[in-house]
Amino acid sequence: MDIGDLKHRVIFQRFTTVANDNGFEEEAWVDFKTVWAAITNLHGREYFEAAAVKAEKTVKFTIRFIKDIDESMRILFKGKQYNITSIDNIKYANKFIEIKAMEVDSSG
């Protein structure tokens, strides 16, 4: 991985309970961390495997290692939301993480 490939800003969000303006608790997506990422679409065999299970809108995000990222989070990139489907600590080196995430339709 060339560090120059990490040229896109993405925001990780966590679903949590927050207090609204009236002091009542409500659940909402809250920004967790903003990082640089390399982003690619699935291609070749990966794409066709995803298409077989109707997951063609899957995108691969590669970021520097962060230990607190998990599948319950979502990613915001260029105004679109992506639900995390898998996280891979590449070669267990704790240098880079490859995250596969599926785009969420605007209807939810």
pTM for this one? Answer: 0.82
* CB-side neighbour CA atoms (13 Å) of 24: 3
Task: Round the CA-based radius of gyration of the chain to a whole number and report it.
Answer: 15
- Measured between alpha carbons, how far is residue 102 from residues 3, 23, 46 in Å? 24, 34, 13
Beta bridge partners of 26: 18
- What percent of the chain lies above the pLDDT cut of 90? 66
On the question of pLDDT at 55 being above 70, the answer is no
Q: 72-102, pLDDT tens digit by residue?
A: 999 999 999 999 999 999 999 999 999 999 9
Q: 24-53, pLDDT tens digit by residue?
A: 999 999 999 999 999 998 666 665 565 555
Ranges of each domain in the chain = 3-19+26-103
On the question of pLDDT at 54 being above 80, the answer is no
Q: Which amino acid is at 104?
A: V
Topology at the third CATH level for domain 3-19+26-103: Thrombin, subunit H (2.40.10)
